[in-house]
């Protein structure tokens, strides 16, 4: 009994780590711009593909050993993926924002960007799935019946480190404080001499960079890539971010892990086809009970 | 006099012309199906505009309600009037199918309207992006529920609706599907138009512009929200029913978020809070989607001729869903308020108002 | 549709022991007042004294922590704002809250929502009843606009009107459902002295023309002095003085509360 509980907790933490890492990208951008960046799930997918190309290139063309490839792959993937995110911001979102378009038109543009990423990938690389090359030796540990791999533990630790790092960035650094300031008052911030556009770019760099990291880890854990892998997981991560309380880093992680836990639990007790149904129902129930999410501040209307 | 009935006249002529051409088989099946999908898309975009444009909410799960309508009217129709492996023999004599069909569609609409409560009730307490999530979740829940009901085919889908259409055509030999699509499309736009132009329905805009003021100025906001969400999802359900009967086959996969996205695009392309914009953009978007079917092979041939792509790569139809979003992004950069903004045809061409009255 | 008052001689509005807590903060504490027919009364106090909170409680936007509010003898506890409004309460807002993308005429029409007496079904089939009601409502709205000399703006959007006119329109909208009680939340805020002077005349004229009790919040003491027979002063949610304008003006507690405020 206890063994299966611990086993499920580990599985839930690992599965939730992916949601958490993606959810934080939604939350960061939303916190600063109140923009639902619907392309973010596909940025995650692009991250996984970038990781695939970088690692196959380094492995086969240059012939580096696996651990060196991994060490190089992490920063390269993060940098390249964040460039994708920033490009989207520069060419699609920013011009609309400058024109003062209705917020929802930016959201629709984000949806369209997501579609382009998905389908351009499909069109250019074809429908065949890509198999991600193994980079490190995967060890399976069995402690008293609880089975886990070094990769699973690495994923969980990475997610926690990222959380601590971002929490530090947002609360302690100048950039993070500027981000918070923007979310409070978009109009006063430029007047205070804070460069709005630069802060927004930093936000996209952080969000997309960690989506890239999530893509790499996901590809290592489940080494089959396809162009639509980001769509469903992206939607789910977004809902997780809202359940946690969008705009709050803690909320994104809590929501991510919560969703991971719900899904693992469902699969443990029901047929796996019920996973989405029950997970979404639970999330809907939470949102109906606490409409602004677990960490969200209740909206107050002043008249 | 002419002004009063001009819209009726135009509609009657257009409808008559389309149906005559369908009857005489001047139009190919393909053209007919495109025309019918235009009708379905008009219902979808105008009904979503009611919520997203007029009421200022952000619902992104419209396809979920469409799904409910599609399944309920398909199942009901097949159960009542067709022999099927799920339900066995028909319950009623298939000769009545023709007269029952509008009610079957309406039943689908009612079921979808009830599903709309899934979103309407949370909307009392919350709005904006939080409500958007609830609509997305509702869409997933609906799809997932149907996928898990094995008896009606689960994710494989459900079919048998063609038999119903055949028995309708056996009774009176007319192209019934185009007729129903036309009637329900006109009916839908007409109901929405009447609703939003009544003082009662202007409460919807009041909620969108200042909900607090609306409530304090005696608008029963919860009631208006319920009615609006239910009307919107109910019409989506009717559109779903038509969609199912046009194809003769439904599966939950065709009502996923992707379909909802399409509807969202139509609404925002046309302009929030513009009914004529929604109609226009539904027509344009459907035609655009179909046009790319023909444009892409042309581009492919051309690209091969001038040797800019390698001979063993073909520009496939997948590119459609790269080019269309790209086109829309570019379009939005130039017209960030949609084709019509929040104006109607009559506001842009005031002279037109002399010639029609549509209420 | 309107709930009839239990007794005809009940005061237009009565508040008994009203208290409102926001978390630990007592925004309004043990507040009581009684307003009779055709009274024109004022509520003043420094910023943050809880004046608007009282108005929000009366219009049903908040539910009171303690105490009760009766409109024409009917308790409003548990009623949603639109229900309270249909009991006969109209109000304006500190920051103008007109529906800016709706014409001036529609603003007045929609504010009569509680008196429509038809629903979705009628609007869809355009029944005789619907057409009749729609005609009556539009006529009533047009009449009101005429009386307020706003008819020339009927097809304009409120956001395009001058500020003073918007204030006036908001008052007209509040009166469109023929309330027995009109709550004015700082109607003179943001007006220049000429406009404020017009406003005084307008309020006095409303008071004389319409059969309505007016209760207003205002910072401009001169406006209050000229209009109100009865003034109540609150600070930190507590009533600190009440009586005629002259009496209130010279009250020591009021002087202390307002010290440093230029308006007095």
Question: pLDDT per residue over A165-185, tens digit each?
Answer: 999 998 889 888 888 888 777
Is residue C29 domain-shared with residue C82, that is, in the same domain?
yes
Query: How crowded is residue A124: how many other Cβ atoms within 10 Å of its Cβ?
Result: 12
Instruction: Tell whether C124 is covered by a domain.
Output: yes
Q: Are B90 and B83 in contact (CB under 8 A)?
A: yes
Query: For residue B61, which phi and psi values (nearest 5 degrees)?
Result: -125, 35
Instruction: Name the residue in chain B with its Cα closest to that of A235.
Output: B136
Instruction: Tell whether C1 is covered by a domain.
Output: no
CA-to-CA dists, residue C257 to C233, C262, C263, angstroms? 9, 12, 12
Q: Which residues on C lie below 8 Å from A298 (Cβ)?
A: none
- The mean pLDDT value for A234-263 works out to 90
Distance from CA of B142 to the nearest CA of C (A): 27
Instruction: Tell whether A242 is covered by a domain.
Output: yes
Is residue C108 domain-shared with residue C74, that is, in the same domain?
no
Instruction: Tell whether A285 is covered by a domain.
Output: yes
Say what the pLDDT of residue B358 is.
Answer: 59
Q: Which residues on C lie below 8 Å from B199 (Cβ)?
A: 106, 109-110, 112-113, 116, 134, 137-138
Nearest to A150 by CA among A139, A158, A161, A165: A139
Query: How crowded is residue A90: how many other Cβ atoms within 10 Å of its Cβ?
Result: 14
Q: Which residues on A lie below 8 Å from C93 (Cβ)?
A: 303
Say what the pLDDT of residue C56 is.
Answer: 92
- The mean pLDDT value for A23-45 works out to 91
C5 band by pLDDT with thresholds 50, 70 and 90: very low
Please list, residue by residue across B195-234, b when 16 or more beta carbons sit within 10 angstroms of its beta carbon and e when fewer do.
Answer: bbbbbbbbbbbbbbbbbbbbbbbbbbbbebbbbbbbbbbb
Q: Which residue reads 């920013």 in tokens?
A: A94
Instruction: Name the residue in chain A with its Cα closest to that of C52.
Output: A303
pLDDT at A56 over 50: yes
Bridge-partner residues for C16, per DSSP?
Answer: C68
Q: Which of A112, A231, A280 sits opposite B141 (nearest CB)?
A: A280
Say what the pLDDT of residue B356 is.
Answer: 62
Q: Count how many domains chain C has.
A: 2
Q: Are strands B249-250 and A146-149 parallel, antiparallel or unpaired?
A: unpaired
Whether residue A270 lies within 8 A of chain B, CB to CB, comes out as no
- The mean pLDDT value for C170-195 works out to 90
The reply to whether residue B336 touches residue A101, judged by beta carbons under 8 angstroms, is yes
Q: Which of B198, B202, B359 sits opposite C102 (nearest CB)?
A: B202
Q: Which of B194, B199, B202 sits opposite C124 (nearest CB)?
A: B194
Say what the pLDDT of residue C8 is.
Answer: 61
C223 band by pLDDT with thresholds 50, 70 and 90: confident
CA A225 and chain centroid, separation: 16
Say what the pLDDT of residue B193 is.
Answer: 92
Instruction: Name the residue in chain B with its Cα closest to that of C111.
Output: B217
CA-to-CA dists, residue B252 to A263, A277, B158, angstroms? 21, 13, 9
Q: Are B87 and B162 in contact (CB under 8 A)?
A: no
The set of residues, in sequence order, having a beta carbon less than 8 Å from that of B141 and lying 6+ positions away, is A277, A280, A281, A284, B64, B118
The pLDDT tens digits for B312-352 are 788 888 888 898 899 888 888 888 888 887 788 777 777 77
Q: Which of A34, A231, A273 sits opposite B147 (nearest CB)?
A: A273
CA-to-CA dists, residue B111 to B71, B72, B126, B164, angstroms? 10, 7, 24, 20
Q: Taking each helix axis as running N to C, give the angle between helix A196-221 and helix A40-56, from 0 to 180 degrees, rounded to the nearest 10.
A: 60
Task: Give me C57's structure tokens.
Answer: 């409680």
pLDDT at C261 over 90: no
C1 band by pLDDT with thresholds 50, 70 and 90: very low
Q: Kindly list the partner chains of chain C, i.e. chains with 3 or more CB atom pairs below 8 Å.
A: A, B
Q: Are B264 and B52 in contact (CB under 8 A)?
A: yes
Query: Tell me, what CATH number does C75's domain have?
Result: 3.40.50.300
Boundary (domain end) residue, out of C162, C187, C205: C162
- The mean pLDDT value for A207-225 works out to 93
Instruction: Tell whether C173 is covered by a domain.
Output: no
The reply to whether residue B130 touches residue A242, judged by beta carbons under 8 angstroms, is yes
Bridge-partner residues for A85, per DSSP?
Answer: none
Structural domain including C129 reads 99-162
Annotated domain spans of chain B: 2-354
A215 band by pLDDT with thresholds 50, 70 and 90: very high
Instruction: Tell whether C190 is covered by a domain.
Output: yes
Which ipTM score applies to this complex? 0.89
Interface of B with A in 150-209 (CB under 8 A): none
Whether residue A303 lies within 8 A of chain C, CB to CB, comes out as yes
Query: For residue C68, which phi and psi values (nearest 5 degrees)?
Result: -140, 155
Task: Give me B334's structure tokens.
Answer: 């130039």
Q: Are C109 and C200 in contact (CB under 8 A)?
A: no
**What's the whole-model pTM score?**
0.91
Please list, residue by residue across A232-252, b when 16 or more beta carbons sit within 10 angstroms of its beta carbon and e when fewer do.
Answer: ebbbbbbbbbbbbbbbbbbbb
Handedness of CA B119, B249, B104, B44 (dihedral sign): positive
Q: Which residues on C lie below 8 Å from A303 (Cβ)?
A: 52, 56, 61, 93-95, 97
Say what the pLDDT of residue B357 is.
Answer: 59
Task: Give me C158's structure tokens.
Answer: 């409120």
Structural domain including A238 reads 2-289
Distance from CA of C50 to the nearest CA of B (A): 19
The secondary structure of chain C in percent helix, strand, coil, rounded to multiples of 5, reads 40, 20, 40
pLDDT at C55 over 90: yes
C149 band by pLDDT with thresholds 50, 70 and 90: very high
Query: Tell me, what CATH number does A39's domain have?
Result: 1.10.3470
The pLDDT tens digits for B47-58 are 999 999 999 999
Give the residue, B277 or C226, on which the prediction is more confident: B277
The reply to whether residue B265 touches residue A120, judged by beta carbons under 8 angstroms, is no
- The mean pLDDT value for A146-161 works out to 91
Query: For residue B57, which phi and psi values (nearest 5 degrees)?
Result: -90, 175
Instruction: Tell whether C122 is covered by a domain.
Output: yes
Q: Count how many domains chain A has.
A: 1
The reply to whether residue A34 touches residue B322, judged by beta carbons under 8 angstroms, is no
Whether residue A297 lies within 8 A of chain B, CB to CB, comes out as no
Cα B222 from Cα C217, distance rounded (Å): 30
Q: Does domain B2-354 have CATH number 1.10.260?
A: no
The reply to whether residue C123 touches residue B219, judged by beta carbons under 8 angstroms, is no
Q: What is the mean pLDDT of each run of 10 residues along chain B (359 residues)?
A: 74 87 85 94 96 92 96 93 81 85 95 94 84 90 92 87 88 89 94 93 94 93 95 97 94 92 91 91 93 89 84 82 89 83 78 63
The set of residues, in sequence order, having a beta carbon less than 8 Å from that of A288 and lying 6+ positions away, is B121, B122, B125, B134
Cα B91 from Cα B326, distance rounded (Å): 50
- The mean pLDDT value for C158-176 works out to 93
Is residue C103 domain-shared with residue C230, that is, in the same domain?
no
């Amino acid at each position: 009994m206890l063994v299966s509980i611990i086993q499920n907790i580990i599985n839930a933490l690992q599965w939730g780590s992916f949601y958490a890492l993606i959810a934080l990208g939604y939350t960061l951008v939303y916190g600063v711009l109140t923009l639902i960046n619907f392309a973010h799930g596909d940025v995650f997918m692009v991250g996984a593909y970038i990781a695939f190309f970088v690692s196959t290139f380094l492995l086969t063309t240059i012939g580096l050993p696996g651990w060196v490839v991994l060490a190089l792959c992490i920063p390269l993937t993060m940098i390249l993926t964040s460039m994708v995110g920033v490009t989207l911001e520069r060419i699609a979102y920013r011009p609309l924002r400058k024109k003062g378009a209705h917020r929802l038109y930016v959201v629709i543009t984000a949806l369209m960007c997501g579609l382009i990423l998905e389908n351009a990938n499909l069109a250019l690389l074809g429908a065949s799935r890509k198999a991600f090359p193994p980079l490190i030796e995967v060890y399976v540990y069995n402690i008293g019946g609880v089975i886990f791999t070094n990769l699973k533990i690495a994923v969980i630790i990475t997610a926690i480190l990222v959380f601590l790092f971002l929490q530090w960035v947002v609360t302690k650094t100048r950039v993070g404080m500027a981000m918070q300031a923007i979310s409070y008052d978009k109009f006063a911030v430029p007047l205070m001499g804070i460069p709005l556009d630069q802060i927004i770019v930093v936000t996209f760099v952080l969000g997309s960079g960690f989506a890239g990291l999530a893509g790499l880890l996901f590809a290592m854990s489940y080494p089959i890539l396809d162009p639509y892998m980001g769509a469903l997981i992206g939607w789910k991560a977004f809902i997780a971010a809202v359940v946690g309380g969008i705009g709050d880093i803690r909320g994104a992680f809590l929501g991510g892990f919560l969703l991971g836990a719900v899904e693992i639990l469902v699969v443990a007790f029901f047929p796996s086809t019920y996973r989405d149904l029950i997970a979404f129902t639970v999330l809907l129930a939470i949102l109906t009970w606490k409409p602004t999410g677990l960490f969200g501040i209740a909206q107050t209307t002043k008249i | 006099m002419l002004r009063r009935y001009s819209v009726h006249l135009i509609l009657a002529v257009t409808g008559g012309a389309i149906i005559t051409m369908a009857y005489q088989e001047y139009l190919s099946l393909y053209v007919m199906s495109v025309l019918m999908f235009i009708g379905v898309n008009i219902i979808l975009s105008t009904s979503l505009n009611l919520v997203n444009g007029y009421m200022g909410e952000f619902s992104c799960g419209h396809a979920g309600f469409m799904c409910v309508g599609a399944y309920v009217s398909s199942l009901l129709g097949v159960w009542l009037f067709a022999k099927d492996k799920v339900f066995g023999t028909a319950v009623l004599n298939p000769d009545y199918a023709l007269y029952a069909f509008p009610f079957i569609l309406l039943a689908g609409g009612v079921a979808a309207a009830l599903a709309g409560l899934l979103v309407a009730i949370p909307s009392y307490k919350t709005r904006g992006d939080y409500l958007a999530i609830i609509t997305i979740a509702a869409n997933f829940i609906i799809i997932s529920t149907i996928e898990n009901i094995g008896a009606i085919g689960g994710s494989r889908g459900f079919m048998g609706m063609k038999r119903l259409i055949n028995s309708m055509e056996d009774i009176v030999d007319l192209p019934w599907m185009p007729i129903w699509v036309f009637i329900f499309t006109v009916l839908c736009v007409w109901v929405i138009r009447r609703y939003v132009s009544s003082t009662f329905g202007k409460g919807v805009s009041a909620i969108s512009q200042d909900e607090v003021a609306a409530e304090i100025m005696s608008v029963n906001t919860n009631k208006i929200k319920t009615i609006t969400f239910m009307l919107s999802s109910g019409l989506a359900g009717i559109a779903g029913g038509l969609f199912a009967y046009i194809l003769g086959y439904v599966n939950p996969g065709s009502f996923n978020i992707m379909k909802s996205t399409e509807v969202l695009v139509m609404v925002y392309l046309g302009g929030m809070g513009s009914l004529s914009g929604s109609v226009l953009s539904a027509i344009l978007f459907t035609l655009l989607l179909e046009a790319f079917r023909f444009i892409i092979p042309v581009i492919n041939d051309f690209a091969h001729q001038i040797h800019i792509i390698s001979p063993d790569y073909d520009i496939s139809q997948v590119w459609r869903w790269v080019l269309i979003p790209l086109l829309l992004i570019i379009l939005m950069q130039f017209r960030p308020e949609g084709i019509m903004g929040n104006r109607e045809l009559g506001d842009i061409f005031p002279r037109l108002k002399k010639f029609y009255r549509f209420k | 549709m309107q709930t009839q008052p239990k007794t005809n001689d009940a005061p237009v509005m009565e508040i008994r022991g009203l208290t409102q807590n926001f978390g630990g903060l007592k925004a309004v504490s043990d507040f009581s007042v009684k307003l009779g027919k055709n009274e024109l009364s004022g509520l003043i106090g420094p910023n943050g004294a809880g004046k608007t909170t009282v108005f929000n409680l009366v219009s049903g936007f908040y539910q009171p922590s303690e105490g009760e509010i009766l409109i024409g003898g009917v308790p409003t506890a548990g009623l949603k704002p639109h229900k309270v409004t249909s009991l006969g309460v109209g109000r304006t807002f500190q920051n103008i809250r007109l529906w800016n993308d709706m014409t001036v005429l529609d603003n007045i029409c929609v504010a009569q929502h509680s008196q429509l007496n038809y629903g979705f079904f009628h609007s869809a089939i355009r029944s005789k009843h619907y057409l009749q009601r729609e005609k009556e409502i539009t006529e009533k709205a047009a009449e009101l606009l005429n009386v307020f000399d706003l008819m020339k703006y009927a097809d304009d959007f409120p956001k395009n009107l001058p500020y003073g006119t918007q204030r006036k329109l908001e008052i007209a909208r509040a009166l469109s459902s023929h309330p027995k009680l009109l709550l004015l939340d700082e109607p003179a805020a943001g007006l220049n002295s000429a406009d404020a002077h017009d406003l005084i005349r307008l309020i006095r004229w409303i008071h004389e023309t319409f059969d309505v009790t007016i209760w207003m919040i205002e910072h401009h003491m001169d406006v209050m002095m000229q209009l109100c027979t009865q003034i109540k002063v609150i600070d930190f949610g507590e009533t600190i003085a009440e009586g005629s304008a002259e009496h209130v003006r010279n009250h020591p507690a009021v002087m202390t509360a307002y010290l440093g405020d230029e308006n007095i």
